[in-house]
Amino acid sequence: MPELSIVVPVYNEAEAILPFLSTVINCVESSASSFELIIVDDGSEDETALIVSHLSARDSRLTLVRLSRNFGKEAALDAGLMIAKGRALLFMDADYQHPPYLIASMVESWRAGADVVNAKKRARGYEHRWYRFLSHRFNQLFTSLSGVPLDGASDFKLIDRQVAEALKQCPERNRFFRGLVAWVGFHQQDILFDVGERHAGRSGWSYGRLFSYAVNNILAFTSFPLIAIAGLGAAAIVVSVVLVIQTLFNYMLGNAVQGFTTVLVAIAFFGSVTLLSVGVVALYVAKIYDEQKARPVYLVKVTRRQCERHE
């Protein structure tokens, strides 16, 4: 069993994967007594898998896991979690936004007794104003709804073997790695880092994908929206009582015909509240539907520990 497993999810990272891996190997060689480096190729369409497979043929510490298609980063992280054998597991991105020099101090903290070492973003590097605003709001909303602290959290983490086993016991398919690690507890410690620029390639996230990721993660962690619509229903009852009293009052005064505006407002208001509520319930039903299908989170195409020059 190696002391440290490093798990790196990659998707179309051919441009910078080689220098990245050699930097990581340099950093890890000096900080861990033994290690394995697991590259999870998340269905890249470029040369990423080929480059890594050539490298792993020469270095037995490298393992390439190829997923059968692009399942998304969460699935790739899960694949790494399932395969890694180390006494500690370190998860990091392949684009230098998670600086490899930090590995040494993360390993130190773990050796000193931390079960989870969270690298937290101090400065977030270049991000579009909207991206920064929305991700900040998402973290705040997620924390206040679920009670699981997310502020500044990133997927750059080192976890002890017992935490890895705890994560494996969470059976849900809609996985949110950052949230799950915060949820399992244990002795957690933070290390601050500045997010650098992406060195090559581009982020695989569009705004649409980020939005559904945010909604998914909230649905995966809290049923608060369901409770909120019950509250909305109660508020709607109060509004409707006021409307009924006003309408009866007008009727008695003989002004009922002028109530047309009230009717329109009432239809619009209660129609929206009903549709919104049904929509929220539908989102949860869809999640239950997805979970009960119990499909695997990812599928592995090829796992190569060594030698595959012939590919």
Binding residues (CB under 6 A) for ligand UDP: these are 9-11, 13, 42, 70, 72-73, 76, 93-95, 97, 198, 203-205
Bridge partner residues of 120 (DSSP): 192
- Quote the least distance from Cβ 206 to Mg ion, whole Å: 14
Q: Are 192 and 122 in contact (CB under 8 A)?
A: yes
- Does 12 engage in binding with Mg ion (CB under 5 A)? no
51/244 Cα distance (integer angstroms) = 71
- Does 109 engage in binding with Mg ion (CB under 5 A)? no
- Quote the least distance from Cβ 302 to ligand UDP, whole Å: 16
- Quote the least distance from Cβ 193 to ligand UDP, whole Å: 13
Q: Which does 181 bind (CB under 5 to 8 A by kind): Mg ion, ligand UDP, none?
A: none
Whose tokens are 């692009």? That residue is: 70
User: Which of 9, 205, 6 is closest to 95 using CA atoms?
Assistant: 9
Write the single-letter amino acid at 247: T
- Does 95 engage in binding with Mg ion (CB under 5 A)? yes
User: Which of 284, 249, 293, 246 is closest to 265 using CA atoms?
Assistant: 246
> Which of residues 72 and 86 has its CB atom nearest to ligand UDP in the complex?
72
- Quote the least distance from Cβ 128 to ligand UDP, whole Å: 11
State how beta strands 88-91 and 157-160 pair.
antiparallel
User: Which of 55, 211, 241 is closest to 134 using CA atoms?
Assistant: 211
- Quote the least distance from Cβ 76 to ligand UDP, whole Å: 4
Residue 72, CA atoms < 13 Å, CB-side half-sphere: 14
> Which of residues 203 and 262 has its CB atom nearest to Mg ion in the complex?
203
**Type and span of the H or E element at 119:** strand 116-121
> Which of residues 102 and 114 has its CB atom nearest to Mg ion in the complex?
102
Q: Are 134 and 210 in contact (CB under 8 A)?
A: yes
> Which of residues 69 and 111 has its CB atom nearest to ligand UDP in the complex?
69
Residue 15 vs residues 51, 158, 197, 202, 225: alpha-carbon distances, Å: 10, 26, 15, 10, 42
- Does 97 engage in binding with Mg ion (CB under 5 A)? yes
> Which of residues 77 and 182 has its CB atom nearest to ligand UDP in the complex?
77
Which residues, 6+ apart, have CB-to-CB distance to 283 below 8 Å?
Answer: 215, 219, 225
Q: Which does 42 bind (CB under 5 to 8 A by kind): Mg ion, ligand UDP, none?
A: ligand UDP
Site size with Mg ion, rule: CB under 5 A? 2
- Does 160 engage in binding with Mg ion (CB under 5 A)? no
- Does 42 engage in binding with Mg ion (CB under 5 A)? no
> Which of residues 204 and 259 has its CB atom nearest to Mg ion in the complex?
204
Q: Which residues bind Mg ion (CB under 5 A)?
A: 95, 97
